[in-house]
Structure 1
Amino acid sequence: MSKKAWILNTCLGVLLSGCANDRTDEVEAEADGQALRKVTLKLDWYAEPAHGGFYQALLNGYYEEAGLEVEIQQGGPGVMPLQAVALGRVDFTLGRIDDAIIGVDRGLPVQLVAAYMEKDPQAIMFHASNPIDSWEDLDGKSIMVNPGNAFVAVLRKRKQIDFSVIPLDYGIQRFLKDPDFIQQCFVTSQPYFAKQQGVEVGVMLLSDEDYSPERVVITNTTFAEENPEIVKAFAESSLRGWKDYMEGDPSKTHEYLTGIHNGNTDELNAYSHKAMSEYKVVFGDASLGESLGLIDESKLEKTIETLRDLEIVKQELRASDLIDYSILPEAVRVPVK
């Protein structure tokens, strides 16, 4: 290792340690005379129905019942939530499980807490008039996607196809104007906006390509080691919120989401909630042994192996490098029947 690299790593280590200790001190603070532990959740995007379970837990008092005072911070374009939790600036964040694996491979001190979506709602969206029936039909096309997404390499290698990548701009204006345009989307949102503009769309869910990284809650490794009871309480309360959001009455949460982000509407909230149910995004497919919260160890090992085969991950990582099942709820370890 060069002297410059050694200095950089040393400074980063000091910074990470200091930030993590600061957050540990903060969670001991009392709120309103009660011994509530203050923790922060950083979203990966603006507040939307895809975060509904966390807001359901907040509004219904599930976090407070577990002794937590939770602040939910919104994300947006350019926000790097994984780095924020690695630096100890927040206690929890959200992301795809493969992003967490890549982060650990690159030295970030983060670990997994629970899966809040068993199936990633990311998809490829195209005009219904565009004759695309399979992944092979994408060969030779141009697709607007996030260039850093691992699924780009997965599709190219597994399907033996090639396509040009247009960097994602997080909008659908180009899609609306060009019937041949293809782009990455969330099945819970962009198809709705396209249909609102009179464009019928088709989608192919990326999780249907035998590469289905869960969307997960992520925390700082030092924070988890020093506060295992907080991590477990946050996981249990969040999963309770998600179950209630999907199976109970989401109206209060939808009203709240509309109030805190002007991109949300009653119609979008209803569409997103229905899409999550129809595509089995949150609970997964019970026939495959999937259930809310579960991070299956063998599947995690398989995802790591896939990323190594693609040379995206360099280290010989194991599931134990990413998750400590001993401090987590049973739902994370064992499928719920």
Structure 2
Amino acid sequence: MKTLTAFGALALSAAFTTPSSALEKVTFGTNWLAQAEHGGFYQAVADGTYEACGLEVSIVSGGPQVNNRALMLAGKMEFIMGGNMLQPFSAAEQNIPIVVVASLFQKEPQVIISHPDQGFDTWESLKGAKLFLGENGFQSFYKWMMGEYGFTAEQRQPYTFNPAPFLADKKSAQQGYITSEPFAIEREGGFKPNLFLLADYGFDTYSTTIETMQATIDTSPELVQCFVDGSILGWVNYLYGDNSAANALIRTDNPDMTDAQIAFSIEQLKKFGIVDSGDSETLGIGAMTDARHTSFYDKMVAAGVAPGGLDISKIYTLDFVNKGVGLELKKKLTGL
């Protein structure tokens, strides 16, 4: 099996092919229905990047009735897409040997959204707003917001993932993903909302991670490296190159996805540095550091979200990232 560190440029053209009979089949489960937030993985399938080092990758969509994490634990797939680091903390608590091998998002896309010109145009002013929050958000990032910034439980109103209550109450705010809910709000409400990205206020979890089992790392490290490198190159090409083939695959897997939503999501990913900012600018997309992992874990312990005393070194490894993969390709595509 070839590594994409050496063959990255060739992976982006049809000039380099591997006979299909020689490809090793790999299944990757996402955490939701196909969308632009999964674009780099679809890109690596569409342009042959995974094939360039010997992998035939099948992407299996997640969704409300799908548990790809359980399927990986049962040996039905090699890799899954994680949301953020909270689930790996839970795995560590339960001694489940799941390992994060890369983080394709440097920032989690979670935001608080408010109406403009209603007295809630700053982060501090949000402490006076009614906040529509789902239960998962209330039990995770909002606990951090309460402990770190003084938000209160009394502000919280249940969020049903319908923007109608927020649109009807100009003195309210709601949770959302920067790539998704603002698009619907702009279309339905006819205004651009204020967006407060939690990552920019210290919620420094890694997001859109690649997770695998420790046994896969032990027995097939070259396979893991190939999938990680291919995914990184896929994201570089998706953000900075021709992503039309990847978007076609996304629409095939999720027929409800529109071109307008995809375009908006890509714009937001770039504008807010979700994929490519900070460490990834020098270490390559997918970058992780011990310091960031420790910082987020300590914050979650302080907020009462995660238990103390976990050995979080068991739930991630830096062995497959921080190698500068994709940096030269990015220069070529952007001219910078």
Write the distance in 1 (CA, Å) between the matches of 2:133 and 2:220.
Answer: 37
Q: Which amino acid aligns with 1:212?
A: D
Write the distance in 1 (CA, Å) between the matches of 2:27 and 2:274.
Answer: 25
Write the distance in 1 (CA, Å) between the matches of 2:322 and 2:283.
Answer: 14
SS of alignment partner, residue 143 of structure 2: helix
Q: Which amino acid aligns with 1:161?
A: F
1:154 aligns with 2:144: yes
Q: Which amino acid aligns with 2:32?
A: W
Write the distance in 2 (CA, Å) between the matches of 1:60 and 1:104.
Answer: 36
SS of alignment partner, residue 325 of structure 1: coil
The aligned counterpart of 2:98 is: 110
The aligned counterpart of 2:126 is: 138
TM norm structure 2 = 0.81
Identity of aligned residues (%): 26
Q: Which amino acid aligns with 2:152?
A: D
The one of 199, 206, 212 equivalent to 2:204 is: 212
1:98 aligns with 2:89: no
Write the distance in 2 (CA, Å) between the matches of 1:105 and 1:322.
Answer: 10
Shift of 1:253: 1.6
The aligned counterpart of 1:294 is: 287
Q: Which amino acid aligns with 2:227?
A: F
The aligned counterpart of 1:26 is: none
Q: Which amino acid aligns with 1:44?
A: N
Write the distance in 1 (CA, Å) between the matches of 2:198 and 2:191.
Answer: 21
1:72 aligns with 2:65: no
1:122 aligns with 2:106: no
Write the distance in 2 (CA, Å) between the matches of 1:53 and 1:69.
Answer: 15
Shift of 1:111: 0.8
Number of residue equivalences: 305
Shift of 1:81: 3.8
Q: Which amino acid aligns with 1:187?
A: I
The aligned counterpart of 1:194 is: 185
The aligned counterpart of 2:50 is: 63
Shift of 1:310: 2.4
TM norm structure 1 = 0.81
1:235 aligns with 2:228: yes
Question: Per the alignment, do residues 217 and 33 of structure 1 end up closer, same or farther by CA in structure 2, a change over 3 Å counting?
Answer: closer
Contact 2:276–2:285 (CA under 8 A) maintained in structure 1? yes
Question: Per the alignment, do residues 291 and 64 of structure 1 end up closer, same or farther by CA in structure 2, a change over 3 Å counting?
Answer: closer
Contact 1:129–1:179 (CA under 8 A) maintained in structure 2? no
The aligned counterpart of 1:40 is: 27
Q: Which moved more, 1:226-235 or 1:141-150?
A: 141-150
Question: Per the alignment, do residues 231 and 290 of structure 1 end up closer, same or farther by CA in structure 2, a change over 3 Å counting?
Answer: closer
Shift of 1:129: 4.0
Q: Which moved more, 1:200-209 or 1:300-309?
A: 300-309
The one of 257, 267, 270 equivalent to 2:250 is: 257
The aligned counterpart of 1:224 is: 217
Write the distance in 2 (CA, Å) between the matches of 1:280 and 1:237.
Answer: 20
Write the distance in 2 (CA, Å) between the matches of 1:83 and 1:141.
Answer: 38
SS of alignment partner, residue 22 of structure 2: coil
Shift of 1:75: 1.4
Shift of 1:173: 3.1
Q: 1:126-178: per-residue Cα shift (whole Å, max 9, x none)?
A: 22243213333233544233323421111000002204444443332333333
Write the distance in 2 (CA, Å) between the matches of 1:112 and 1:251.
Answer: 29
SS of alignment partner, residue 256 of structure 2: coil
SS of alignment partner, residue 219 of structure 1: strand
Question: Per the alignment, do residues 168 and 290 of structure 1 end up closer, same or farther by CA in structure 2, a change over 3 Å counting?
Answer: farther
Shift of 1:319: 4.4
